[in-house]
Amino acid sequence: MDFGVLSTAGIARKAFLPALEATDHEATAVASRDGERARTFADDHGIDESYEGYDDLIADANIDAVYIPLPNGLHAQWTKRAADAGLDVLCEKPLTVDAGEAREVVEHCEDRGVTLMEGFMYLYHPRTERAIELAQDKLEDVRSVTAAFKFPLFDRPDDVRLSPDLDGGSLMDVGCYPVSLVRQILGEPERAYAHADDSRGAGVDTELAGILEYDDGSSARVASGFDTQKVQRYRVEAENGWLEVRDAFDAPTDEPLELEYRIDGRHAVETFDAIDQYSLEIEEFASSVENDRPPRTDGEEAIANMRVIDALAESAERDRPIEV
């Protein structure tokens, strides 16, 4: 599969392209608003074609699919344009800025007959799959999940993640991961309550803490932020035990990872070999296209995740619980 990359964003350079090299697929075109930047990026990464402008790549490049690592506020627009050209789309999370827009994009891609996948790479890591399996099959009566993803975003006032016009903020950027993880374990919550802070006066949340409530009495706590040192972990508590994962979402590709748990009195630490979860994500996308089936992180999954994100954001704004 030949990919066109819409943007020279850091995640494309640091994560997507190295992962792509480990597969049988390749990037054959890249576009940027700045033509010189696109040419330099193409030269640096051995990409054949570069374009000044995303429309030119979509119209002219001989590609099968696009990878979209643009700022959040541009995802919907360029996913639709790629679909109009008959291109399958792997779009970075979050797919859109809210659940309503996600539904529009999903229906648009369905009407055009193209595959749409949201890039939640952590769900394709074998450790994540094992953790979900244990939570669903071995842990009895899960009562709570705690999940957090924070990292320092200091001395970068112009970062797109601090732009309200581009739908930045910690909830959208990294909080979407804890929300996703909680939903894999507990399902869809009934209510959300959140508190947020804008420590930079940027117009977006730089810290958010939320509670998700379920009618059976179980609950989850999620947290995201740009104001502390890096933390990314989750813990699941149940009647007969618990499990815990560190380096949970943006997992290193060059070292083994651990999953620790105690279930029915048995304590264990499982170790997983170093692997690039972005490569696994790409392989899932290509397989979905080839076999004409929805990927695991398809449009419906994106809509469901955005509903919870919307509720947390609304709760933080209104300072009251919100029905999901």
CA atoms within 13 A on the CB side of 159: 18
Give the model confidence (pLDDT) of 209-236 as tens digits: 999 999 999 999 999 999 999 999 999 9
Across the range 279-300, mean pLDDT stands at 97
What are the CA-CA distances from residue 229 to residues 201, 224, 225 (Å)?
A: 20, 11, 9
185, 135 contact by CB (below 8 A)? yes
Whole-angstrom distance, CA of residue 108 vs CA of residue 85: 12
Whole-angstrom distance, CA of residue 209 vs CA of residue 150: 11
pLDDT score, position 180: 98
Beta pairing partners, 207: 197, 225
Give the model confidence (pLDDT) of 11-27 as tens digits: 999 999 999 999 999 99
pLDDT score, position 254: 94
pLDDT at 286 > cutoff 90: yes
In the chain, where are the structural domains located?
A: 2-121, 122-280+304-323
pLDDT score, position 60: 85
Beta pairing partners, 88: 65
pLDDT at 40 > cutoff 90: yes
Query: Edge-to-edge strand order for the sheet containing 322-323?
Result: 266-272, 257-263, 241-246, 231-238, 142-150, 219-225, 207-213, 191-197, 322-323
Give the model confidence (pLDDT) of 94-106 as tens digits: 999 999 999 999 9
Across the range 250-267, mean pLDDT stands at 97
What are the CA-CA distances from residue 265 to residues 8, 39, 134 (Å)?
A: 50, 58, 14
Give Cβ neighbours of residue 218 (< 8 Å, ≥ 6 apart): 142, 143, 144, 186
Give me the percent of the chain exceeding a pLDDT of 70: 100
Give the model confidence (pLDDT) of 138-171 as tens digits: 999 999 999 999 999 988 888 999 999 999 999 9
Both structure tokens of 14: 């640091």
Structural fold of domain 122-280+304-323: Dihydrodipicolinate Reductase; domain 2 (3.30.360)
* CATH number for the domain whose boundaries are 2-121: 3.40.50.720
Give me the percent of the chain exceeding a pLDDT of 90: 98
- The reply to whether domains 2-121 and 122-280+304-323 share a CATH topology is no
